[in-house]
């Protein structure tokens, strides 16, 4: 007897309850109808949750009531029919079709059923018509079946390949060529339309086999079905059946941590995120017990103060993975201030640049004060953005028992799971240097990452521990970690098209703020506290009154916000409000992007409040893409006052639009390169900005991508006889008149071959070999530039590889005139003063451009505000002069230095010493000479520090202007000289880039293919220290074809260091028997030839030097 019959029997007989014995164990069970609700009694209690009876599954809520219709359990949707039994297969509800797998889980994304592909949207509804998935269009007929072949839709003819993807361009069908335009529509000769494919079965014809609940009025019907707020569709490719293969696991079955897999990572307190713990390698903090890795946080005392230690382990340089499926079974601690994490970072953070450009994957994070909620997140971009999903347990917490945290990472998307339940899918990310182009998708998540497990204490996000935190049980326990891989991955993926953003209209008065006059109580305004902030807000007499009891530790500890403010790209907006305070104090106002990592559309702006009500007005231009969820923020935390604040008459109105104009010339890259995408890792096929022309039918042009090594590859067939027949060109370069430039590129060929580089009436011929070399040419523009195009002529038979193409000013500091804006420079402002600092390019002393730094508060250390340029090359034994113009609207001191980049090892040797000068309203020429007595450094940093120099914190608004920065090599000292390179390390130093230095020696090749250096730890999040080995390389010069080895030697005091990203294709290098002698034997008998290439041979693995 099935359950449906039991229910009918009970109802028909008007029996309130029925008791029967199940089996020999005398287990008593009964169905009970109470107020038209069914319950199930077993062993004298009501059953809750899932219960199986007669091979059917039923679900009972916490009150024991049997559920019908849609229910959500642990993040997954199920459907229970009117009799309560769980359904599988196809069902129809409110006119829409859904599919439930054998476990009853509602499916989303692509579904293959009986040989036919269907597509179910994020709500699980089967789709028909056109569907766009990952930038590709598919067509589903009225039965939902995916179509292939030639189809007709609305009198237009399209062609869908065997995978269902709509095709464009020229397509061969049955041996005949047809053309389809960019919309996929056939043009010209139209192919024959094939019969519509229904494939497996026609849903409309089998409705008797499925359950149609369209008229179901049950209270648990689809009208109550809601998805998790952070969930996304599990869209997988219909072409691929995924089979994950186990490639590595650790079940922690031994007595100690396996050091073949794991590293202990140690750090002092405050390393990142204002965390309190010291990470140690002590067995008190990190140990293996009962088959678990245990990371334990310990509260102790040091120097009479509370002190915390904890554990962090990583697989860096031991176990790394590019893509894969990751499963980690773990149990988290609970308690205020505890912050466990299972996450991943790239093994080489320098491939795309330091955090966040390098990318970060957080498989699991849990905040100890919310132990029932887990987060899955990716971080990326510059400026920083993130995409985060959350999963909340309906019962209990992640500290009560073990849970399995999962990640499936493929080139086109990442899927986050908890206990097998998908709760977050991400398919859109990017990386770039600020001001530069996005790297080709899926960067930065196309490189090997390593695993990390840690238990943090305190910090910006969880807040600090309090008296309720139980450190006796402050343990993150990891039962096992498993990693799986697919047999192969398709890395030729496209970034999905951005979703259309719908922007709401303002009110009838043009105001985008809702309830800006505070005339009513509503939920448009949100009062928030964080990181120790305690306060309250109330609307009274048409104003918002904010009271602060504790200002907390950050400016947003006390915060009034209004989200969901629409802002349109190119729009010009005005923000106005009235405000006053109970006593003079400050407030910070901004407009942020919660969905884009809280980047700023209207920068943090400090407002000086007084006891008199004043009106404040600010304007900004929306320079990012449309966003329907901008957020206006009034921040009143940690600003030296807890005085009450009143805010009224808040308005945001659009006052105009900024017209987009096409630049006459290509922009200069942030690192000072006049070539865009010289590393071939930007745009579709990694060829953005490059134009290819070929008169040869047998020419193939592509970009390699083996182990993240990208090079332009041009293969020319045997029917080409002239160099001009094949060219790769970049046009409209932003070259300036009467300026000397240097052209660099790396190149080699499979067989010896000649190529030519041409620019501004200069031709440079090169004879390539099968050994990769760096070629360098100098040229100088005249009063008039006739040709701004760089053209690489590559005709004639053979295969050529080219990489790291650069044109830069022939100077040690680039863009020292600031004619190209801040290209090559970085303005650094510590987070504690970021709202007090802004920068721009302005006229100065009759010059065209100058760097202008506006400062409201210097902060409490000299390094907290800096203008800096990285990758400045200094050669041991050479003499230099650094000079620049400076002035300030107030009398103050600034400090400058050229120093070592200590971001990896905290060695910030100042090669010039730390020089302090006083400046004022009049422009002052600063000049300083020194000799480089340390080892040659190709990656030094030039910094001008404008924070609290000599511990003098300035809170008066002022402006510092810098121009004409030059670094020159000199033969003899003439004035202000430093003969003693000091070891002084400017406190907290960051670093520079961009001025002018002229080098006579051809071996003084500036570092190629570098991204601007990143900020040190106080601006990074969750980065790891790396020890890099830098190989020294042989430097030669002269005619490549017939100069003798002896003539090709160049006068250097030591071989040049090449630290470029690509490391000159190590896989192609072969051992050279004479290389060691050549490196050691440097001579003084070479001469410069203005138009002859300088050849910098690749690293041949000779000498390694630890940095």
Please state which of the ranges 351-365, 404-418, 815-829 shows the lowest mean pLDDT: 815-829
Residue position matching structure tokens 């639009």: 657
Between these two residues, 1081 and 53, which has the higher pLDDT value? Answer: 53
Is 879's pLDDT higher than 80?
yes
How buried is 1074 (Cβ within 10 angstroms: 0-12 exposed, 13-18 middle, 19+ buried)? exposed
- Region of 5 on the Ramachandran plot (φ > 0 left; ψ -120 to 50 alpha; else beta): alpha
Q: Which residues contact 201 (CB under 8 A, 6 or more apart)?
A: 114, 116
- H-assigned helices in 623-737: none
Between these two residues, 1038 and 778, which has the higher pLDDT value? Answer: 778
3-state secondary structure at position 415 = strand
- The answer to whether the CB of 384 falls within 8 A of the CB of 353 is no
Q: Which residues contact 1077 (CB under 8 A, 6 or more apart)?
A: none
Is 237's pLDDT higher than 90?
no
Is 633's pLDDT higher than 80?
yes
Which residues belong to CATH 2.60.120.200 in the chain? 245-485
Q: Which residues contact 114 (CB under 8 A, 6 or more apart)?
A: 199, 200, 201
Q: Which residues contact 208 (CB under 8 A, 6 or more apart)?
A: none
Q: Which two tokens stand for residue 834?
A: 């970021």
- Convert the pLDDT of each residue in 971-1010 to its tens digit: 999 865 544 444 443 343 333 333 322 222 333 333 333 3
- The answer to whether the CB of 967 falls within 8 A of the CB of 888 is no
> What is the per-residue pLDDT for 1054?
33
Q: Which residues contact 155 (CB under 8 A, 6 or more apart)?
A: none
Between these two residues, 201 and 431, which has the higher pLDDT value? Answer: 431
> What is the per-residue pLDDT for 4?
33
> What is the per-residue pLDDT for 210?
38
> For domain 684-809, which architecture applies?
Sandwich (2.60)
Which residues face 649 on adjacent strands? Answer: none
Query: If you compute the radius of gyration of the chain from its CA atoms, what whole number of angstroms results?
Result: 33
> What is the per-residue pLDDT for 906?
79
**How much is the mean pLDDT over the chain?**
81
What is the distance, to the nearest Å, from the Cα of residue 709 to the centroid of all Cα atoms in its chain? 20
Between these two residues, 745 and 173, which has the higher pLDDT value? Answer: 745
Residue 237 CB coordination number (10 Å): 17
> What is the per-residue pLDDT for 1020?
35
Fold of 245-485: Jelly Rolls (2.60.120)
Rounded Cα distance between 269 and 280, Å, is 10
Is 1028's pLDDT higher than 80?
no
> Which of the four CATH numbers 1.20.1430.10, 2.60.120.260, 1.10.1740.10, 2.60.40.10 does domain 826-998 have?
2.60.120.260
> What is the per-residue pLDDT for 379?
95
Mean pLDDT within 902-931: 90
Rounded Cα distance between 952 and 957, Å, is 14
Mean pLDDT within 291-307: 96
What is the DSSP pairing of strand 211-212 with strand 449-457? unpaired
Rounded Cα distance between 307 and 276, Å, is 8
Q: Which two tokens stand for residue 286?
A: 């990190």
DSSP secondary structure string for all residues of 1034-1055:
-EEES-TTT--TTTTB---SSP
Residues annotated as catalytic are: 360, 365
Is 1095's pLDDT higher than 80?
no
> What is the per-residue pLDDT for 975?
62
The DSSP H or E segment spanning 7 is helix 3-12
Which residues face 403 on adjacent strands? Answer: 330
**Band (848; pLDDT cuts 50, 70, 90):** low
- Convert the pLDDT of each residue in 567-577 to its tens digit: 999 999 999 99
How buried is 162 (Cβ within 10 angstroms: 0-12 exposed, 13-18 middle, 19+ buried)? exposed
How buried is 951 (Cβ within 10 angstroms: 0-12 exposed, 13-18 middle, 19+ buried)? exposed
Mean pLDDT within 619-627: 92
- The answer to whether the CB of 577 falls within 8 A of the CB of 616 is yes
Preceding peptide of 444 cis, ω within 30°: yes
3-state secondary structure at position 384 = coil
The upper half-sphere exposure of residue 1089, i.e. CA atoms within 13 Å in the direction of its Cβ, equals 15
> What is the per-residue pLDDT for 21?
35
**Band (525; pLDDT cuts 50, 70, 90):** very high
What is the distance, to the nearest Å, from the Cα of residue 743 to the centroid of all Cα atoms in its chain? 31
CATH code for the domain defined by 526-657: 2.60.120.260
Q: Which two tokens stand for residue 514?
A: 């809702």
Could you say which DSSP state residue 157 is in? E
Mean pLDDT within 255-276: 93
Rounded Cα distance between 766 and 436, Å, is 30
Query: Rounded to two decimals, what is the model's pTM?
Result: 0.63
Rounded Cα distance between 376 and 366, Å, is 9
Please state which of the ranges 135-149, 468-482, 882-896, 1017-1031 shows the lowest mean pLDDT: 1017-1031
Rounded Cα distance between 818 and 835, Å, is 24
Which residues belong to CATH 2.60.120.260 in the chain? 526-657, 684-809, 826-998
Q: How many residues does the chain have?
A: 1107
Q: Which two tokens stand for residue 506?
A: 């303002």
Phi, psi for 951 (deg, rounded to 5): 60, 25
Is 822's pLDDT higher than 80?
yes
Helices (H) and strands (E) in the chain, counts: 2, 74
Between these two residues, 1013 and 87, which has the higher pLDDT value? Answer: 87
> What is the per-residue pLDDT for 820?
82
Residue 803 CB coordination number (10 Å): 28
The DSSP H or E segment spanning 103 is none
Q: Which residues contact 741 (CB under 8 A, 6 or more apart)?
A: 674, 735, 778, 779, 780, 781, 807, 808, 809, 810
Residue 411 CB coordination number (10 Å): 16
- The answer to whether the CB of 581 falls within 8 A of the CB of 610 is yes
Q: Which two tokens stand for residue 401?
A: 């028992």
Q: Which two tokens stand for residue 425?
A: 């899918």
- Convert the pLDDT of each residue in 1043-1071 to its tens digit: 333 333 333 333 333 333 333 333 333 33
> What is the per-residue pLDDT for 226?
28
Q: Which residues contact 305 (CB under 8 A, 6 or more apart)?
A: none
- The answer to whether the CB of 578 falls within 8 A of the CB of 587 is no
Is 687's pLDDT higher than 90?
yes
């Amino acid at each position: 007897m099935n359950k449906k019959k039991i229910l009918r029997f009970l109802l028909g007989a008007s029996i309130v309850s029925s008791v029967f014995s199940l089996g020999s164990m005398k287990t008593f069970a009964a169905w009970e109808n109470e107020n038209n609700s069914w319950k199930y009694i077993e062993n004298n209690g009501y059953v809750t949750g899932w219960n199986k009876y007669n091979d059917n599954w039923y679900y009972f809520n916490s009150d024991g009531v049997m559920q019908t219709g849609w229910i959500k359990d642990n993040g997954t949707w199920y459907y229970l029919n009117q009799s309560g039994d769980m359904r599988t297969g196809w069902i129809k509800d409110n006119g829409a079709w859904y599919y439930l797998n054998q476990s009853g889980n509602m499916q989303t994304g692509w579904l293959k059923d009986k040989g036919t592909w269907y597509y179910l949207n994020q709500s699980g509804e089967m789709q028909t018509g056109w569907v766009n998935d990952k930038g590709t269009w598919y067509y589903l007929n009225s039965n939902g079946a995916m179509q292939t072949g030639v189809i007709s839709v609305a009198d237009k003819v399209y062609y869908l390949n065997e995978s269902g993807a709509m095709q464009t361009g020229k397509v061969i069908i049955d041996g005949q060529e047809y053309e389809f335009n960019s919309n996929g529509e056939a043009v010209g000769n139209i192919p024959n339309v094939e019969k519509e494919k229904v494939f497996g079965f026609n849903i409309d014809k089998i409705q008797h086999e499925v359950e149609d609940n369209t008229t179901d009025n049950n209270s648990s019907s689809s009208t109550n079905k809601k998805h998790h707020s952070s969930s996304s569709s599990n869209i997988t490719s219909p072409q691929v059946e995924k089979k994950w293969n186990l490639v590595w696991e650790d079940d922690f079955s031994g007595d100690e941590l396996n050091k073949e897999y794991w590293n202990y990572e140690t750090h002092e307190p405050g390393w990142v995120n204002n965390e309190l713990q010291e990470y140690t390698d002590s067995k008190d903090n990190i140990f293996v017990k009962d088959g678990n890795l245990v990371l334990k946080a310990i509260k102790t005392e040091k120097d009479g103060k509370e002190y915390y230690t904890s554990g962090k382990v990583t697989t860096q340089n031991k176990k790394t993975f590019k893509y894969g499926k990751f499963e980690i079974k773990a149990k988290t601690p609970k308690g205020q201030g505890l912050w466990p994490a299972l996450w991943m970072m790239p093994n080489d953070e320098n491939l795309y640049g330091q955090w966040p450009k390098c990318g970060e994957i957080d498989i699991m994070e849990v905040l100890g004060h919310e132990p029932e909620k887990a987060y899955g997140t990716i971080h990326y971009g510059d400026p920083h953005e993130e995409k985060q999903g959350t999963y909340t347990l309906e019962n209990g917490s992640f500290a009560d028992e073990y849970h399995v945290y999962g990640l499936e990472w493929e080139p086109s998307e990442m899927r986050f799971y908890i206990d097998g339940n998908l709760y977050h899918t991400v398919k859109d990310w990017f990386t770039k240097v600020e001001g530069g182009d996005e790297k080709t998708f899926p960067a930065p998540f196309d490189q090997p990452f390593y695993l990390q497990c840690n238990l943090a204490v305190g910090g910006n996000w969880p807040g600090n521990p309090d008296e309720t935190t139980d450190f006796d049980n402050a343990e993150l326990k990891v039962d096992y970690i498993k990693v799986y891989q697919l047999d192969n991955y398709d890395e030729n993926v496209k970034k999905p098209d951005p979703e259309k953003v719908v922007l709401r209209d303002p009110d009838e008065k043009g105001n985008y703020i809702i309830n800006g006059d505070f005339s009513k109580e509503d939920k448009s305004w949100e009062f928030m506290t964080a990181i120790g902030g305690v306060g309250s807000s109330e609307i009274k007499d048409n104003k918002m009154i904010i009271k602060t009891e504790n200002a907390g530790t950050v400016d947003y500890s006390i915060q009034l916000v209004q989200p969901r403010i629409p802002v349109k790209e190119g729009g010009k907006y005005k923000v106005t409000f009235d405000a006053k305070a109970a006593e003079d104090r400050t407030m910070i106002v901004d407009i942020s992007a919660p969905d884009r990592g809280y980047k700023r559309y209207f920068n943090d702006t400090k407002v000086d409040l007084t006891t008199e009500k004043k009106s404040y007005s600010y304007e900004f231009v929306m320079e990012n893409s449309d966003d329907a969820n901008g957020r206006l923020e009034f921040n009143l935390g940690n600003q030296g006052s807890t005085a009450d604040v009143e805010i009224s008459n808040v308005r945001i109105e659009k006052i105009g639009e900024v017209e987009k104009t096409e630049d006459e010339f290509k922009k200069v890259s942030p690192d000072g390169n006049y070539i865009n995408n010289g590393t071939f890792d930007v745009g579709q096929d990694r060829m953005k900005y490059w134009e290819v022309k070929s008169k040869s039918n047998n020419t193939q042009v592509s970009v390699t991508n083996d182990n993240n090594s990208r090079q332009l590859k041009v293969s020319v067939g045997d029917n080409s006889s002239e160099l001009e027949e094949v060219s790769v060109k970049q046009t409209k370069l932003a070259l300036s008149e009467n300026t000397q430039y240097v052209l660099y590129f790396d190149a080699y060929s499979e067989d010896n071959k000649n190529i030519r580089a041409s620019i501004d009436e200069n031709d440079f011929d090169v004879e390539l070999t099968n050994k990769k070399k760096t070629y360098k040419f100098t040229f100088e523009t005249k009063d008039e530039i006739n040709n701004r195009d760089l053209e690489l002529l590559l005709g004639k038979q053979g295969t050529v590889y080219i990489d790291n193409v650069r044109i830069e000013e022939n100077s040690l500091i680039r863009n020292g005139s600031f004619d190209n804006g801040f290209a090559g420079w970085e303005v650094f402002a510590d987070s504690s003063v970021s709202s007090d600092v802004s920068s721009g390019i302005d006229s100065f002393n009759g010059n065209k451009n100058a760097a202008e730094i506006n400062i409201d508060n210097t902060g409490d250390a000299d390094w907290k505000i800096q203008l800096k340029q990285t990758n400045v090359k200094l050669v041991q034994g050479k003499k230099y002069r650094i000079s620049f113009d400076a002035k300030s609207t107030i009398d103050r001191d600034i400090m400058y230095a050229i120093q070592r980049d200590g971001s990896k090892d905290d060695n910030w040797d100042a090669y010039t010493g730390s020089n302090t000068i006083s400046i004022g309203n009049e422009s002052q020429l600063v000049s300083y000479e020194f000799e480089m007595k340390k080892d040659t450094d190709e990656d030094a940093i030039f910094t001008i520090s404008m924070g609290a120099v000599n511990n003098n914190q300035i809170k008066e608004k002022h402006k510092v202007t810098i121009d004409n920065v030059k670094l020159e090599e000199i033969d003899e000292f003439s004035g202000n000289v430093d003969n003693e390179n000091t070891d002084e390390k400017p406190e907290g130093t960051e670093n520079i880039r961009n001025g002018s230095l002229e080098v006579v020696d051809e071996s003084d090749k500036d570092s190629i293919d570098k991204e601007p250096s990143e900020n040190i730890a106080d601006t990074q999040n969750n980065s790891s220290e790396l020890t890099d080995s830098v190989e020294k390389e042989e430097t030669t010069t002269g005619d490549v074809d017939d100069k003798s080895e002896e003539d090709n030697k160049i006068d250097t005091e030591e071989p040049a260091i090449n630290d470029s990203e690509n490391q000159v294709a190590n896989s192609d290098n072969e051992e050279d028997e004479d290389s060691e002698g050549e490196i050691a034997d440097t001579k003084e008998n070479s001469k410069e030839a203005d138009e002859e290439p300088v050849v910098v041979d690749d690293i041949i693995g000779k000498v390694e030097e630890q940095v």
